[in-house]
Amino acid sequence: MPEHREIERKFLVRELPEKLEDFPHAEIEQGYLAIELDSVQVRMRKAGDELSLTYKRNEELSREEREITLTPEQFAVLWPGTAERRLRKTRYEVPLGELVVEIDVYHERHEGLIVAEVEFENEEEARTFQPPPWLGDDVSFDPRYSNQLLAS
């Protein structure tokens, strides 16, 4: 995959894999410092002990993504800037052949929402991907399921 590129598709989850808790997973809190829907976002994330700041610019199926690790002190200074633009979810990493399906189970006001993301090496691989039957509708371009909108 080209450096600083993210190529992914997002799906609703029709049926959770058996023994989901047995797969690697992390509790995630994320908030947004800046959101321009369909354009640019600056996201902060706490996943376990990992703290990060990510800049994303949307460009169809592929998008620019740049991420840095934050110290706890840096995170503490910036986190208040995400007030009113946050969400909580548990992310499970489920192997699917050579790929990994990241299943996000949302909490709090989005309780009951479950989506899955699959990242690809290139756009052709993303376009030709045949999801397994336990994945539902492709919502890759449906803004109602974008994390930045869910956090608003």
| Residue 27 exposure: Cα atoms within 13 Å on the Cβ side | 5
Catalytic residue, candidates 32, 92, 106, 145: 32
Rounded CA-CA distance 38/96 in Å is 29
The CA distances from residue 130 to 11, 38, 91, 97, 126, in Å, are: 12, 26, 22, 12, 9
Q: Whats the size of the chain, residue-wise?
A: 152
Active site residue 32: yes
Tokens of 107: 């909490």
**At 10, which helix (H) or strand (E)?**
strand 5-13
Please say whether the beta carbons of 41 and 35 come within 8 A.
Answer: yes
Residues designated catalytic = 32
